[in-house]
Amino acid sequence: MKDFLRSSYLIPIAVLAVVAVAVATGGHRQLDEKGRPLVVWAHPPCPPPLMKIYNGIFDEFRRTHPDINLRVLHITGNYEDKIKVMVAGNVAPDTIFMYPNALAAWVELDALESLDTNLEADPNVRTSDYFTPMIDTFSYGGKVYGLPKDASAVIMEYNVDLFRRFDVQPPRPDWTWNDMLDAAAKLTRDTDGDGRTDLWGMTPYSWWIFVWQNGGRILSEDRSRCALLEPRAVEALEFWAALRYKHGVTPTLEAEADMGMHQMFIAQRVAMSFEIYPIVSVYRKTCEFEWDLAHVPAGPAGRCTEVRGSALAMSRQCRNKEAAFEFVRWLTAAPGMSRLLAVEMPSWKSLADSDAFVKMPGLPASKRVAVESMEYARLPLQHPLYNEIMDALNPALQKAQRGETTVRETLDHAVPQVNKILERHRARN
């Protein structure tokens, strides 16, 4: 043993041990070297032009908040997975990006900090400053967990030139499902005469919007079972599925695999597209034809659409809650969002209503549709097992959409699966 201690191996082993201890006990510090609170923001992957805008926002925050040290952690690849691993490793960033469907799972994993205390204490912000559906989307169990950044709901973008060329009346605010189907059928064509459809009337959009528009629900009121076998839901899903398998007004799977829906709209291979607001900034730059926005058509039970968008949340492991909340508040309110108006619609109401946003050059004629959609937008399904529920339902419903089975048959098989998932969740909690 003495030989070993005297040997030349000792130094490298000691160095390795020190490194191992440093790694094991490392992690984020609370204060920087100047004693300022550190705030780590995990930024999701985004294209370079957008990153440039964000970098300007971060610089502005640092300039106006010299007492806070903002550090930006650039996440590449799958954002949600990576943040979850960081949370599990107890090195979570202070502030994180949040999507609507993910919120419930994050709250149940005890990974998020409620913002209620900060909201009560901060005179610069009230939840009523944001669009109500956006605040509701990022609330769970009566607590607010995220301040919404960009507001979006599914809206229609349509090719005015194609409507004009084929003498189809453009969408009106009182359009119903059947009006949409009539127009889509008139616009679906074989333009080069090779016997195959190459222009489709519309892109398909989320089946649950049809269910809601027909007065149906995905889950029962008490969330104990799947409610898709109820007649209103089945009727809505039959209409949705028939758009592809019966009427053929939405692109085939092959066409979809070839280009993707956005590209098909840009290439004028589809006349009506159903997307969320950020697509406007893409279409503004790429569409070489006249296009406009319209409301999603109303169903038999009225009009509704789905809230999307994103929010900034604080992790449970956040070490400087006040400083982190200040960053979240600042970025989601006018100071931060005013730089993002060219690409996103702000959730901060006064900014969305301002001339800076509404009168921005290059926007389509009916730009108010995006803001108006907030009046009837509905919360997405919030459930901690959202992914599992949708993975059980989507493939089954796509089968009906392809006409390989009926909606009723596919639901007879899928609904019990969802009920088992819900039952497992109840048993666990």
Q: Which is nearer to another protein, 87 or 371 (CB)?
A: 87
Minimal distance, residue 395 CB to another protein, in Å: 6
Cβ partners under 8 Å of residue 350, min gap 6: 129, 334
Cβ partners under 8 Å of residue 225, min gap 6: 219, 418, 419, 422
Q: Which is nearer to another protein, 254 or 355 (CB)?
A: 254
Site string for another protein, 223-262 (x = CB under 8 A): ------------------------------xxx-xx----
Minimal distance, residue 76 CB to another protein, in Å: 15
Site string for another protein, 95-114 (x = CB under 8 A): --------------xxx---
**Residue 423 has which token pair?**
């039952």
**Residue 381 has which token pair?**
């399904």
How far apart (Å, rounded) are the C-alpha atoms in residues 240 and 403? 12
Q: Are 177 and 183 in contact (CB under 8 A)?
A: no
How far apart (Å, rounded) are the C-alpha atoms in residues 111 and 109? 5
Q: Are 203 and 232 in contact (CB under 8 A)?
A: no
Pick one of 9, 14, 164, 169: the residue that binds another protein (CB under 8 A). Answer: 9
Number of residues lying near another protein (CB under 8 A): 27
Site string for another protein, 51-90 (x = CB under 8 A): ------------------------------x--x--xx--
Q: Which is nearer to another protein, 33 or 110 (CB)?
A: 110
Q: Which stretch binds another protein (CB under 8 A): 133-141, 236-244, 370-378, 390-398?
A: 390-398
Minimal distance, residue 392 CB to another protein, in Å: 9
Q: Does 404 bind another protein (CB under 8 A)?
A: yes
Question: Residue 64 is inside which H or E element, if any?
Answer: helix 48-64
Minimal distance, residue 105 CB to another protein, in Å: 8
Q: Which is nearer to another protein, 87 or 236 (CB)?
A: 87
Minimal distance, residue 110 CB to another protein, in Å: 6
Neighbour count for residue 304 (Cβ, 10 Å) = 17
Determine the residue type at 310: S
Q: Which is nearer to another protein, 353 or 404 (CB)?
A: 404
Q: Are 187 and 338 in contact (CB under 8 A)?
A: no
Q: Which is nearer to another protein, 18 or 365 (CB)?
A: 18
Q: What is the DSSP letter of 36?
A: P
Minimal distance, residue 390 CB to another protein, in Å: 11
Q: Which is nearer to another protein, 110 or 355 (CB)?
A: 110
Q: Which is nearer to another protein, 81 or 375 (CB)?
A: 81
Q: Which is nearer to another protein, 164 or 402 (CB)?
A: 402
> Residues of 360-383 as b/e, b for ≥16 C-beta within 10 angstroms?
eeebbebbebbbbbbeebbebbbb
Neighbour count for residue 405 (Cβ, 10 Å) = 17
Pick one of 387, 403, 409, 426: the residue that binds another protein (CB under 8 A). Answer: 387
Cβ partners under 8 Å of residue 321, min gap 6: 113, 118, 314
**Residue 184 has which token pair?**
């889509």
Can you say how many angstroms the Cα of residue 312 is from the centroid of all Cα atoms in its chain?
12
> Residues of 221-233 as b/e, b for ≥16 C-beta within 10 angstroms?
eebebbbbbeebb
Minimal distance, residue 146 CB to another protein, in Å: 18
Minimal distance, residue 111 CB to another protein, in Å: 6
CA separation (Å) from 179 to 184, 210, 367?
Answer: 9, 14, 22
Q: Which stretch binds another protein (CB under 8 A): 30-38, 224-232, 349-357, 395-403?
A: 395-403
Q: Which stretch binds another protein (CB under 8 A): 40-48, 178-186, 303-311, 398-406?
A: 398-406
Minimal distance, residue 337 CB to another protein, in Å: 31
Neighbour count for residue 279 (Cβ, 10 Å) = 18
Minimal distance, residue 357 CB to another protein, in Å: 36
Q: Judge residue 257's burial from the number of C-beta atoms within 10 Å of its C-beta, 0-12 exposed, 13-18 middle, 19 or more buried.
A: exposed
Q: Which is nearer to another protein, 275 or 388 (CB)?
A: 388
Q: Are 317 and 92 in contact (CB under 8 A)?
A: yes
Q: Which is nearer to another protein, 253 or 356 (CB)?
A: 253
Contact positions toward another protein, by CB under 8 A? 3-4, 9, 81, 84, 87-88, 109-111, 253-255, 257-258, 385, 387-388, 391, 395, 398-399, 402, 404, 417, 420, 428
